[in-house]
Structure 1
Amino acid sequence: MPPKQRRIAIMGYRSVGKSSLTIQFVENHFVDSYDPTIENTFQKMITIRGQEFALQLVDTAGQDEYSLPPQSYYVNIDGYVLVYSTNSQKSFEVVKFVYDRILDMKGTNIVPVVLVGNKSDLRMEREVSFEKGKELADSWKAPFLESSAKENQRVEEIFKCIISRMERSENIGQQKSGCVLS
């Protein structure tokens, strides 16, 4: 069976670790330096429950509550990983705006999304509690994970989870809600 093609956009406020999560997942290493991303696309093959997926990961430029992301962030995108930093309340507020914008642009209220609180390793600098992230994700009926790109915590799980959500949205009614990982 040929691999299923999937396009995933990684979106969120600037400096939340979108590129670090993507590079950690694709290349298995942490990038310590920060150069603001304009837009980058990465490819990765992954097998889940015997099915191969050819992923195209669109690492987007950081969004804010005033910017209008380009149309390309909505056209032919199968799912979204929305990232905020656990040490930035501002990034948490912006991710809400980004989610609303996706729904507006897609013209639907059901979009495969995973909410990610990144930088969980910065425990002493935390501004957004796990409970607040979970509460927001629950309001979207979306999975929620906290991660650390630096420590490679739950990074692969994020992408397996969004693939599961995309598959579920294609086969509505065939699976229960939530992520199904194996």
Structure 2
Amino acid sequence: MANAPLKRKIVILGSPSVGKTSITQQYVTPPTYNDQYYPTIESTSNKIVVHKGVQYDCEIVDTAGQDEFSLFPPKYAVGVHGYVLVYSITSKQSFDMIVSLHEKILDQGGLDKVPCVIVGQKTDLEKERRVTRAEGEALAKKLGAAFLESSAKDNKNVDRAFEALLGEMQREYNPAPAPAKKGWWPWS
């Protein structure tokens, strides 16, 4: 009998209009891109995926855009396995908010570390770029997160963002077993 898929709850967070819904839709039901902006209240999608031989049943919560002063609802910290923190490469303000969101996640969850990927979204708007790739990479390194840039419009790196998060979650929640020792001697 095959093993049941591992359930993983993923929450997408970021400022309003950075592309959270667009990357969620592209990942769950590609190719889906709508250039009209309709603010999301909150929606949940599911997708079963296989990552490195492990099947996952992913519940993906696409949140309403957060602003710097909004409360961080505890429901986004409880029972969540990983986060996609999204900013727009065209908005320094949305980038600066990533640190605040990350701190709120750790505080609410009482954690020192959490699996997450930081996504610099909207690379199709390169001419309007306000946040460099190097700044995104440096922030991700500082926060201990995976990093990549994407474009939901071009469906570029959308799947890779979720694969990176699944990799982070896999390392955190079901790491590879330690290699077996050859003999009973400690130096074997």
Give the TM-score taking structure 1 as reference length.
0.93
- CA-to-aligned-CA distance 1:122-158 (integer Å, 9 cap, x gap): 0110000000000000001211100000000000011
Superposed CA RMSD in Å reads 1.3
Structure 1 distance, partners of 2:45, 2:102, is 22
Other structure's SS at 1:128 match: coil
Q: 1:82 aligns with which of 79, 82, 85?
A: 85
| 1:4 alignment counterpart | 6
Contact 1:23 1:31 in 2 (8 A): no
Structure number with greater Rg is 2
Letter in 2 for 1:50: G
Q: Where in structure 2 are the equivalents of 1:1-182 lying within 5 Å?
A: 1-28=3-30, 29-171=32-174
Letter in 2 for 1:163: L
Letter in 2 for 1:13: S
- Runs of 4+ that moved beyond 2 A: 171-175
Structure 1 distance, partners of 2:44, 2:72, is 16
Structure 1: unaligned runs, 5 residues or longer: 176-182
Contact 1:168 1:174 in 2 (8 A): no
- CA-to-aligned-CA distance 1:49-72 (integer Å, 9 cap, x gap): 222111100000111110012111
Q: How many residues align?
A: 175
Structure 1 distance, partners of 2:34, 2:96, is 25
Structure 2: unaligned runs, 5 residues or longer: 179-188
The structure-2 alpha-carbon separation of the partners of 1:54 and 1:171, relative to structure 1 and needing over 3 Å to count, comes to: closer
Other structure's SS at 1:151 match: coil
Structure 2 distance, partners of 1:67, 1:128, is 23
- CA-to-aligned-CA distance 1:91-140 (integer Å, 9 cap, x gap): 00111111111111111111001000000110110000000000000001
